[in-house]
Structure 1
Amino acid sequence: MSDREIVLVRHGRPASENNDRLSSSGFARWVKNYNRCDLHPDSQPRCQRDFSQHYTISSALHRARLSAQRYTGQPATESNAAFNEMDIPRYRLPFTLNAWTWVYLNRAMWIAGRRGPFESFSQARRRVEQACELLVERAETHHKVVLFAHAMTNRFLSRYLTRRGWQVIEKDHRYWGVIILREPASRQ
């Protein structure tokens, strides 16, 4: 069996994760704050794993870098914006909604192809597919890699890796959730 392993860890719960009722402009501020915020002080991994033998990468977003630090006790060896979350789009709509309703509504319109002044869904998919290449390169060099990133990015990375023949061994999409993928020996 192959000893190459890629572990995708979703960041911990952000401190600013509230579900207030917001206008579209208030939601734009919510997204900006969400991308800059610290981790919630009570947010801790449900089960601590030993990643001391893994090459550690994080997205460039603050919550991912803090999550790598909190989880492993040291900063990520590499931080790269290619692993940032797939954009949370912000459309100007005449509604007042809860923040997470805005997230789901905007993401649905974004996935359906509506454009705006942010990364399009097709651009985000291409970026994450290129990030997948980078992860595979790191796994070829370091054999074991752990990435601290984001929910949607991790879902697409997992999808692209399985298309390349990697096998999902474990999957959890919650905060601090871990997705473990291994490369079959026949792929080396």
Structure 2
Amino acid sequence: MLMRHGKPLINQQGRLNAAEFGAWVEKYNVAGIDTKYPPLPSAIEQISESAFIVCSDLVRSLESTKILGAERIDECASLFREMDMPHAAWRLPKLSIPLWTAFFRLAWVLGYSANVESFKAGRQRAQCCAEHLVSMASTHGSVLFVGHGSLNWLIAKYLTKMGWQSSGKSLRNYWQHTVFTANTIP
């Protein structure tokens, strides 16, 4: 199962220039979870149904796993970190955080990777994550990964290519989750 972490405790309002957006991204990467936005009951259920629990070493992933009620975290690794957001030192224009996020994520996909891993390297890491999660599922049965938006999206693509089928739920919003099952051929 792939699940997106809870809502981070950071101001996502206002207008920033690109340099300020880079500083905001650094704060986002150390932000905890806003407990005013608890997980859905269906998300909490997944903890009890998971034999093995995985998260990244970013605070928002660790705290989300604990807020879900996990008694343990079986693996916590930088391999599972969110895809870093490129940024620049431009002083103009000033745009909203969601607009900068969309702009720089698209620029990253198109090849701009200032200060971060390239899109190609990120895709390779996501493939490694997918293969590692499949290996853990074959060993432990059921695995819950409390991860991040872009990384989960890429992992989902690789799991599908590997023959796994998704419950079809989007991972766009905080606390959303989707279950993948191995496609067994009789």
Q: TM-score, normalised by structure 1?
A: 0.91
Distance in 2, Cα, partners of 1:61 & 1:87: 12
Q: Which amino acid aligns with 1:40?
A: D
Measured in 2, the distance between the counterparts of 1:37 and 1:95 equals 26
CA distance in 1, matches of 2:132, 2:56: 12
Partner of 1:131: 129
* Whole-angstrom distance in 2 between the partners of 1:34 and 1:91: 16
Aligned to 1:167: 165
Shift of 1:60: 1.2
Deviation at 1:175, TM superposition (A): 0.3
Q: CA deviation at 1:73?
A: 3.6
Task: Tell me the residue number matched to 1:22.
Answer: 16
1:12 to 6, 16, 19: 6
CA displacement, residues 123-166 of structure 1 (integer Å, 9 cap, x when unaligned):
11111111111101101100100000001111111110010000
Q: 1:180 to 1:85 in 2, by over 3 A?
A: same
Q: CA deviation at 1:110?
A: 1.0
Q: 1:111-130 counterparts in 2 under 5 A? A: 111-130=109-128
SS at match of 1:74: coil
Amino acid aligned to 2:123: R
Q: In angstroms, what is the RMSD of aligned CA positions?
A: 1.5
Query: Is this contact kept in 2: 1:68–1:74, CA < 8 A?
Result: no
Q: Residue 185 of structure 2 aligns with which residue? A: 186
Quick one: distance in 2 between partners of 1:145 and 1:33? Answer: 29
Aligned length: 181
Aligned pair partner of 1:72 in 69, 72, 80: 69
C-alpha distance in structure 1 between counterparts of 2:75 and 2:124, whole Å: 21
Structure 1 gaps of 5+ residues are: 1-6
Deviation at 1:17, TM superposition (A): 4.2
Q: Any gaps of 5 or more consecutive residues in structure 2?
A: none
86-95 vs 161-170, greater mean Cα deviation: 86-95
Supply the distance in 1 between the matched residues of 2:160 and 2:143 (Cα, whole angstroms). 16
The aligned residue for residue 151 of structure 1 is 149
Distance 1:101 1:89 in 2: 14
Q: CA deviation at 1:115?
A: 3.1
1:35: which partner in 2?
29
TM-score by length of 2: 0.91
Deviations for 1:23-61, whole angstroms, at most 9, x for unmatched residues?
222111110110101101212112231422420000111
